[in-house]
A and B are shown apart, each in its own frame.
Chain A
């Protein structure tokens, strides 16, 4: 008689096949979960690797003797690092992610308004502003307030050349600058991590100093979006955040203008923001810096190594108070 409680022997899976199947299933579960965890990690935490397509531009070798400070004799930071480690909150607050976020930024038909206390105010087309003077190569140290630094071969000309073109009035004491405000092109402006648009400023004598430049390129190429395309300010003796990017407006004014990081945290970021190893940020030391591409830390230099050139601008000033 047939026992119905037991399946026919043909349907019983042999023991070793059954065990194999279990092992196979387990391996599958393990592999799938590892893949899921790995994918999640990669999604959340991958430095950007966007290639940079910046066209070559005309740059002449630096003009000026070695003591001008126009050419720092230290190893240059690689183009890859300069273009993939950026503080540009208009695109992302993650320095490793700005290159990807800014890759499609359009700068066509860019205009720059220059006005305020001047005799010849003008709205410049980008090409016209770039034609005011030949771009020179300036190899500057760049010290970020966060404690890292680079050496960057900029292409640009002294800001003073533009300012002379618009003929400032005697009453002009400061220069106020503004970044583009367009949340569709600069998605970071949809968040309130800073007050938009980004604004920065210099005292007139700082702005007229030959080291302060309007930069339009790096390494002989047009500025990539992540580095402040198409036109930015570079003030090598000040912390990087003074170097306002993607400039659309330059106004000459009588009183000290508001500046973005000073608005965000007045006790931490002053108007002057001169690189100074003896005045710490309230939350971290400024005595040393991490040079990108090097291991260990370097000593930070007074005025970022440009004391000889710019120290006289600040004689008699208390640099602890005017940080």
Chain B
């Protein structure tokens, strides 16, 4: 398991490493800032989707060890999101706090994107075993449902900034909808099952 997690970790680093390599060697196109923004945004959405994929994949395949991949994938999603924002602040806005804030307040797609990023902060902060213990698994799980908000905000942010070619944001939307839809369906099924059981054996409840 330790080896599998190591392989996963190294692979998650690969896109970031290649992006840095390209930027350093001036192979990031004519507009490297925009290239880096696009790439890190794409990576964030990809890693959010992969994180959300772990639970359905584990249940459908009954491979319980897949669970070990969820935390590293989530933390990589957060790291790429932070990089995305940092590139925007440092290069697109030339580290001007004023222009960053005024641009963020005025532009709906930036508000939505920032909200999605902010929602990830408490999740990253409570990702350690110690924090799970301190919060208790129930409260921890409830808090971490915030990732659903991040997924939706990320897709909406992407959709809103595209000029006319909506194919990629829509594709991400379909993937996220499937991943969230799976959870909704299993939630409803779980409730009906519990209710049916309660009706059959009233004494047990």
The number of chain A residues touching the other chain, given as a range, is 35 or more
In the complex with contacts A84-B30, A290-B31, A295-B91 CB distance below 8 A: yes
- A19 CB–B CB distance under 8 Å: no
* Contacting pair B103 A146 (CB below 8 A): no
Find chain B residues with CB under 8 A from A290 CB.
Answer: 31, 33-34, 92
The answer to whether the Cβ of B183 comes within 8 Å of any Cβ in the partner chain is no
Given A283-B107, A283-B160, decide whether A37 and B29 contact each other with a Cβ distance below 8 A: no
In the complex, B3 has a CB within 8 A of chain A: yes
Cross-chain contact A96 with B103 (CB below 8 angstroms): no
Contacting residue for A38 out of B6, B14, B39, CB 8 A: B14
Contact A285 B103 (CB under 8 A): yes
Sample of 7 more A-B contacts, CB < 8 Å, known A34-B11, A45-B42, A89-B164 = A26-B3, A81-B30, A96-B29, A191-B165, A193-B165, A283-B107, A283-B161
Q: Give the residue among A89, A146, A191, A297 with the most B Cβ atoms within 10 A.
A: A297
Q: Which of B20-73 contact A (CB under 8 A)?
A: 27-31, 33-35, 39, 42
In the bound complex, residues from chain B placing their C-beta under 8 Å from that of A292 are 30-31
Chain A CB within 8 A of B137 CB = no
Q: How far is B14's CA from A84's CA once the two chains are assembled, in angstroms?
A: 25
Q: Which residues of A lie under 8 Å from residue B181 when comparing CB positions?
A: none
Establish whether residues A95 and B165, one from each chain, have CB atoms under 8 Å apart when the complex forms. Answer: no
Contact with B along A271-289 (1 / 0, CB 8 A): 0000000001001110010
Q: Is B130 an interface residue (CB 8 A)?
A: no
Residues of B within 8 A of A288 (CB): 99
Size class of the B contact interface (CB-based, 8 Å): 20 to 34
A194 within 8 A of B: yes
Which residues of B does A touch, CB under 8 Å? 3, 6-7, 10-11, 14-15, 18, 27-31, 33-35, 39, 42, 91-92, 94, 99, 103, 106-109, 160-161, 163-165, 167
Q: Give the residue name and chain of the A residue nearest to B162 (CB).
A: A93
CB within 8 Å of B: which residues of A?
26, 29-30, 33-34, 37-38, 41-42, 45, 47, 49, 80-81, 84-85, 89, 93, 95-96, 146, 148, 191, 193-194, 261, 264-265, 280, 283-285, 288, 290, 292-293, 295-297
Beyond A41-B14, A194-B164, whether A29 also contacts B7 by CB under 8 A is yes
Q: Give every chain A residue within 8 A of B92 (Cβ-Cβ).
A: 290, 297
Within the assembled complex, what's the spacing in Å between the Cα atoms of A290 and B51? 35
The distance in angstroms between the C-alpha atoms of A193 and B31, with both chains bound, is 23
Contact B14 A283 (CB under 8 A): no
Nearest CB in chain A to that of B18: its residue: A41
Complex: A96 Cα to B30 Cα, angstroms: 8
